[in-house]
Amino acid sequence: MTTIYTTDAMGVFAGALDVDPYAAMPPRSTLTPPPAVVGEQVARLTAGAWEVLPAYPAPPAPDLAALKSAKNAEINAARLAANFSTFTHSGKTFACDQLSRSDIDGTNGFVGLYGTMPPGWPGGWKAVDNTYTPIATVADWKAFYASLFAAGNANFAHSQALKAALNNATTAEQVAAIHWGVQP
């Protein structure tokens, strides 16, 4: 058996292992034993050589710009998901997934072009609870579509408030605390 000495991700001595002498060396290990340490001291392997530090090293500071960039992408993804989930109109919840949104936008395009409901219009829209909400007139349709728009506009405003908080964040903890479901 051969003794190897392993380190953690910071390069600090983590322990000794007895392994088969023909086994491949695991990552973050060496055949050279660490120096003796006392008290709070630790041995750290740096560029193949051991050094003694007075205490366990502080982890490197997180890259705040990278954290902010990732959080910005997370906010954008959350807004997109919210825009393609549901919206409320007349006390009912309506689906706004990609297929539903296509149908709503197609109907809205027809109403916008011709100023009337499409031929064969069923007279309402189905809510997620499988009930129908009457939409008999162009004015009814405009109110329905305005509810969809208001939900999207609210999602946009919320994303902008989160991005303002993100812009003002100065620590990794502040960035991590920003979430779609939390008001800034």
For the chain, the domains span: 2-53, 64-176
> Is the per-residue pLDDT at 168 higher than 80?
yes
User: What string of H, E and C letters represents the secondary structure of the chain?
Assistant: CEEEEEECCCCEEEEEEEECCCCCCCCCEECCCCCCCCCCCEEEEECCEEEEECCCCCCCCCCHHHHHHHHHHHHHHHHHHHHCCEEEECCEEEECCHHHHHHHHHHHHHHHHHCCCCCCCCCEEECCCCCEEECCCHHHHHHHHHHHHHHHHHHHHHHHHHHHHHHHCCCHHHHHCCCCCCCC
Average pLDDT over residues 100-109: 97
Residue-level pLDDT at 129: 97
* pTM of the complete model: 0.68
Residue-level pLDDT at 62: 84
> Is the per-residue pLDDT at 184 higher than 90?
no
> Is the per-residue pLDDT at 83 higher than 90?
yes
> Is the per-residue pLDDT at 181 higher than 90?
no
